[in-house]
Amino acid sequence: MHGLHLIDELYDCRCDPQLLADAAALRGLCLATCSADGLTPVGLVFHQFGNALEPAGATGAVVLAESHLAVHTWPETKSVSLDLYVCNFSQDNSSAARDACRRLISAFAPARVLRRELVRGLPELAGPIDPTGESD
């Protein structure tokens, strides 16, 4: 489970509006980015919101041999959310993940970005389950 989880929120994106509104364009970008950075797509699903006359954004997920990429667009606010998780079990994929996120961010050309990195798979930090369901 050890890996790196990258979460990015992109605001005021200045890319071609089609990239925010068209699931096919979004799918092409995601697949090209993952492949270029050494990640291995093994499945995918993309959904177009709205209709052919008035697209209203897209959402998509690429299942990777290394874990997953999820992307959601809001053309009406020129916003995008990215979620890329890679496991580092047999090799360290952190560099590939960071490169892929940089490529995606560059493609969307946001004016503002909120980035978060989470290292996952640290069992020594995990606490016992509280049977009452209460949290500290």
What residues are annotated to the active site? 67, 72, 87
Q: Distance between CA atoms of 91 and 42, rounded to whole angstroms?
A: 18
What CA–CA distances, in Å, run from 128 to 1, 40, 116, 121, 123?
Answer: 18, 35, 26, 15, 11
Which residues pair with residue 79 across a beta bridge?
74
Residue where the block lists tokens 């892929």: 100
